[in-house]
Amino acid sequence: MKTLLRLLQWMLKAAIFFTLFAFALNNQQDASVHFFFGTQWRAPMVLIVLAAFTAGVAVGALGMVPRWWHHRKAAKAPVQPPLARAAERQTPDSDVIHGV
């Protein structure tokens, strides 16, 4: 069972690789990306797509950094027992019902 699963994973990875390889071979013609102030970048289409993908991954990862820091800080904080947290929330007047 394990070997069959590994074989299927290997075949899926090989199919993805050959699909991307065929994409790269079919998009070797030059393309240009026009930036501001009349500047442009001329490169093969596959490099432009790869650069856009890499930039998207980098921007996405940078956008997640503050949340990672928050979770890391929360994981390092000492954990209080549930009864101590309940005692902190309770106020002296919480037993009094107002307006009755």
The verdict on residue 38 lying in a domain is yes
Helices (H), 27-98: 45-76, 82-89
Q: Are 51 and 31 in contact (CB under 8 A)?
A: no
Confidence of residue 8 (pLDDT cuts 50, 70, 90): very high
The verdict on residue 10 lying in a domain is no
Confidence of residue 15 (pLDDT cuts 50, 70, 90): very high
Task: Give φ, ψ of 30 to 5 degrees.
Answer: -70, 145
pTM: 0.52
Tens of pLDDT, residue by residue over 58-89, are: 999 999 998 988 888 888 887 766 665 655 66
Tens of pLDDT, residue by residue over 16-47, are: 999 988 888 887 888 888 888 989 889 888 88
The verdict on residue 22 lying in a domain is no
The verdict on residue 81 lying in a domain is no
The verdict on residue 19 lying in a domain is no
CA atoms of 72 and 69, how far apart (whole Å): 5
Please tell me the predicted confidence (pLDDT) of residue 82: 67
The verdict on residue 93 lying in a domain is no
Give the single-character DSSP code of 1: -
The verdict on residue 44 lying in a domain is yes
Please tell me the predicted confidence (pLDDT) of residue 24: 81
Tally of structural domains, the chain: 1
Q: CA separation (Å) from 28 to 9, 32, 39?
A: 29, 12, 22
- Structure tokens that stand for 95 in this block: 């037993």
The verdict on residue 20 lying in a domain is no
Task: Give φ, ψ of 41 to 5 degrees.
Answer: -125, 120
Which domain does 38 fall in, by range?
A: 29-76
